[in-house]
Amino acid sequence: MSTEVIWPQYQLERTEQDSRLQGAGAAVVGIVDRRLGIDPEQASPPQIAEGLLQRTDFDAVTTRFDRGETWVRDVSMLTSKKRARILEIAGGARGSITDEDLRTIADTSTTFANFMKNALSDESAQPYAGWNFLVNMQGFTNAGIPWARQLDAAFVGKYGRNVDQMLHTLGSDPILKNNTHMLVADFAKDTGNAYSMSTYLAGRSLFSESYQEQLYGRELNRAKSLASEQLQRFAPETGLGRVAQERALGQILRTRFSSYDHLIKGILIGEAGSIADYYGGTLRVQVHSGGNHGNISEAQDVDITLQHELTHSGSAQSPNGTRTGLMVAGMGRRVNEGVVNFLAQEALGFPNMDLSRDSVIAKPGLHYPPETVAMAAMYKYQPDSFAHLYNASYGQVESVTGLTRSVSMFHAAIQSGGN
């Protein structure tokens, strides 16, 4: 597995990543926001607390994950079960193809076609999604990967040109290049291409997941150990119950890498241009560098990024992703990021913070500085209020009044600079 496969002859078009909570699930969150009639960024502490009290089946997340029914975070909305089945069929199990298999193949290609068709208007998509898809495909094809060569042959069958020739033609005309997504969408919506497209998408997804594991697997395992140890330290202090502890530990240990689909915007993290994200309900984290070769420049970036995303993965969440930790339907984003990044910092020994003085000091490289400093101040000076937030992030709410007051104190701490 080589980086040349990922980054081939033509350059991927670099686009500004989203520095806000975004991702492919933003539409789901937006729908819930409108139903509640609340602007999530303007939600009051009582509204946030009320949202966190909504009945949620937290255990369904691990149940669905174990069944292979959670999204691997790719543009065709594959689950690990569907991805495995498509690759099983591609590997020779054609004699046992069922009607459900055919629907899975067709739905995978159609979902991808719709994504490409709407790439320019979809906030979760890269503006150059079509071009970048072909560039990525070229790398896999020239590396001789069967599912990529099969798709390349299908492109020749439809357009009379392979991916090398198509990129050469499209790249010579800015208008054609900017509309590559429509050409890819046209190909994918053709039912005759569903098998080759779905097989490629499944293979590409698993390859990318394995690639992240190869690069950062050791760091993820270390992050899991640190997060597990942190649970054991904090639970007695905050009063987090055994049920919540066991649920969080189960989620942490199950967490894997997502397929890191580069066609979906990530969240810009840190000065090195690292990109990371977590989508609620998946138990899959992702991390990638801002450069072209899959290597984050500083080891600390890998550690803090993975610890942060893993903390999200261990928090209480709904299967559909509308609730993650202290954020529900888009409300409570800042307090959620505050507790998550504080815990990530604590697990690693506060590499970007100093809590040894009378005031909390933020060092260079701290992610979410106002939110993290405010949460650190609450942990240091208002441990009871911190406990309300910590426990609620794992799905345990002892007092609505206490939770509301703690959210209010967090926002007050931000206004005062955390000190």
Q: What is the pLDDT of residues 223-276, one digit of tens each?
A: 999 999 999 999 999 999 999 999 999 999 999 999 888 787 665 555 555 567
Helix, strand, or coil (residue 361): strand
pLDDT at 244: 97
How many CA atoms lie less than 13 Å away from 101 in the CB half-sphere? 15
**Burial annotation 257-276 (CB, 10 A radius, 16+ → b, else e):** bbbbbbbbbbbbbbebbbbb
Residue 51: C-alpha distances to residues 251, 289, 325 (Å): 22, 35, 11
Q: Are 316 and 351 spatial neighbours (Cβ–Cβ below 8 Å)? A: no
pLDDT at 18: 33
Angle between helices 45-52 and 400-415 (to 10 degrees): 140
pLDDT tens, position by position, 299-311: 667 889 899 999 9
pLDDT at 375: 97
| Positions of the chain with pLDDT lower than 70, given as ranges | 1-41, 94-95, 265-275, 288-300, 417-419
Rounded to 5 degrees, what angle do the CA atoms 75, 212, 232 make?
105
| 155, amino acid identity | F
pLDDT at 127: 73
Q: How many helices (H) and strands (E) does the chain have?
A: 18, 8
Q: What are phi and psi of 369, to 5 degrees?
A: -55, -50
- Residue 41: partners with Cβ closer than 8 Å, 6 or more residues away: 330, 333
pLDDT at 9: 37
pLDDT at 135: 94
pLDDT at 92: 82
Strand runs labelled E in 226-319: 256-257, 267-269, 274-278, 284-288
Residue 176: C-alpha distances to residues 7, 172, 183, 307, 411 (Å): 22, 8, 9, 42, 49
How many CA atoms lie less than 13 Å away from 251 in the CB half-sphere? 34
Angle between helices 146-159 and 194-238 (to 10 degrees): 140
Alpha helices for 143-192 (secondary structure H): 146-159, 163-171, 174-178, 180-189
